[in-house]
């Protein structure tokens, strides 16, 4: 069994986040023990991106969702930072602007989907529109269920255009979230990230878990699977996410395209030019 199956939400099955231990860390006992494997995965990601770019038959969309302080930014930095930024775009979807809210909820998302050869990372995503509005009573069940249908169709459209989609829910406990908030308060380089909305969401933790469970269960498909990643241990989160993406890209069985020029002719021209250059220097 590959690592993806370990974290994947099977299509048609209802996920229970209570059944997933956010402190799980596999057979590794510490970040030091996992460091070598994480770095090896990062190296593979860089190599696979080159293949993706060269072949230009596929694109990759990575969706990151989590509660506040769940590790989305850390995942972008410590795992997805292995990708060459020239072929990678990161987009964050926060509260819709007035213009965005005047359109359908997917209007602002589609322009950021990756073209062939590229990687797009959504740090928060179109799933925000079936989470916070539901928890805070801004939409009813009929609306969020209709949005699930639109999301499935949207993601299938991307998949039909050779976009490979992997979606991660970074699962932390409420206790871990509070510890991370406390650490931010004590760190001058991070306490700017604290906001009132962070703490205001904590009383609604159970409602958010219910919203995530329903959204993940309704939209985990063969073309756009969800992966629930135990994320209390940041190093294990990095290990698990890197494993899943490596396996997903390897499954594409990419190869370098054949040269579009006659290499023998190019070599002859190169050697001829080199010979002429040496001749000029000798004179």
Tokens of residue 255, six digits: 């190869």
Instruction: Tell how strand 88-92 and strand 59-66 pair up.
Output: unpaired
User: 131 pLDDT exceeds 90?
Assistant: yes
* Mean pLDDT of all residues in 217-246: 98
Determine the pLDDT at residue 174. Answer: 96
Ordered DSSP codes for the chain: --HHHHHB--TTPPP-GGGS-TT--TT--SHHHHHHHHHHHHHHHHHHHHHHHHH-S-EEEEEEEESTTSSHHHHHHHTGGGS-GGGEEEEE--SPPHHHHTS-TTTTTGGGSPPTT-EEEEES-GGGGGTHHHHTTSS-HHHHHHHHHHHHHHHHHHHHTTEEEEEEEEE--HHHHHHHHHHHHH-TTTGGG--HHHHHTGGGHHHHHHHHHHHHHHH--SSS-EEEEE-SSHHHHHHHHHHHHHHHHHTT---PPPPSS-HHHHHHHHHHHHHHHHHHHH-
Q: Is the pLDDT of residue 224 over 90?
A: yes
Q: How far apart are the first and last CA of the chain?
A: 67
pLDDT at 280: 67
Mean pLDDT of 227-240: 97
The confidence band for 169, taking pLDDT boundaries of 50, 70 and 90, is very high
pLDDT average, residue stretch 152-173: 98
Cα(242)–Cα(75) distance, rounded to whole angstroms?
A: 9
pLDDT at position 157, please?
A: 98
Whole-number average pLDDT of the chain: 93
Quick one: average pLDDT of 150-157? 98
Instruction: Kindly report the pTM of this predicted structure.
Output: 0.92
- The confidence band for 267, taking pLDDT boundaries of 50, 70 and 90, is confident
pLDDT at 262 over 90: no
d(CA 188, CA 190): 5
Q: So what's the pLDDT on residue 283?
A: 60
What pairs with residue 123 in β-bridges? Answer: 64, 92
Domains of the chain: 3-282 (3.40.50.300)
Q: Is residue 230 pLDDT above 80, yes or no?
A: yes
Angstrom distance (rounded) from CA 209 to CA 17? 7
Residues 6+ apart with CB under 8 A from 136: 204
Centre a 10 Å sphere on the Cβ of residue 72 and count the other Cβ atoms it contains.
21
pLDDT at 77: 96
As a whole number, mean pLDDT of residues 185-211 equals 82
Please compute the mean of the pLDDT values over residues 59-63 and round it to a whole number.
98
Residue 80 · residue 62 · CB < 8 Å: yes
Percent of the chain with pLDDT over 70: 95
Closest CA to 105 of 121, 126, 124: 126
CA–CA distance, 82 with 48 (Å, rounded to integer)? 11
Angle between helices 141-160 and 205-219 (to 10 degrees): 40
What pLDDT shows up at residue 260? 78
d(CA 85, CA 83): 6
pLDDT at 149: 98
Does residue 196 carry a pLDDT above 70? no
What mean pLDDT is predicted for residues 133-160?
98
pLDDT the model gives residue 220? 98
Angle of CA points 223, 225, 228, to nearest 5°: 175
Segment 11-43, tens digit of pLDDT:
999 999 999 999 999 888 889 999 999 999 999
How does residue 265 score in pLDDT terms, banded at 50, 70 and 90?
confident
For residue 122, the model assigns a pLDDT of: 98
């Amino acid at each position: 069994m590959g690592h993806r199956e370990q974290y994947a939400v099977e299509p048609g099955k209802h996920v229970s986040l209570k059944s997933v231990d956010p402190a799980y860390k596999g057979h590794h006992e510490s970040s030091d023990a996992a460091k070598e494997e994480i770095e090896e995965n990062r190296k593979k990601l860089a190599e696979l991106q080159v293949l993706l770019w060269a072949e230009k038959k596929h694109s990759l969309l990575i969706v990151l969702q989590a509660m506040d302080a769940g590790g989305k930014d850390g995942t972008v930095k410590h795992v997805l930072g292995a990708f060459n930024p020239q072929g990678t775009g990161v987009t964050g979807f926060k509260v819709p602007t007035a213009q965005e809210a005047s359109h359908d909820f997917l209007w602002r998302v589609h322009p950021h989907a990756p073209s062939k050869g590229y990687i797009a990372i959504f740090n928060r995503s179109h799933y925000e529109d079936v989470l916070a509005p539901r928890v805070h009573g801004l939409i009813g069940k009929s609306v969020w269920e209709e949005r699930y249908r639109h999301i499935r169709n949207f993601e299938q459209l991307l998949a039909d255009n050779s976009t490979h989609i992997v979606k991660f829910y970074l699962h932390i406990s409420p206790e871990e979230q509070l510890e991370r908030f406390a650490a931010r308060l004590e760190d001058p380089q991070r306490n700017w990230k604290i906001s009132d909305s962070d703490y205001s969401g904590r009383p609604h933790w159970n409602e958010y878990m219910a919203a995530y469970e329903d959204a993940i269960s309704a939209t985990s498909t063969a073309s756009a699977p969800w992966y629930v990643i135990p994320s209390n241990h940041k190093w294990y989160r990095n290990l698990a996410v890197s494993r899943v993406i490596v396996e997903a890209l390897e499954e594409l069985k990419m190869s370098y395209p054949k040269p579009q020029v006659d290499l023998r002719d190019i070599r002859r021209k190169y050697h001829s030019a080199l010979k002429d250059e040496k001749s000029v220097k000798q004179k």
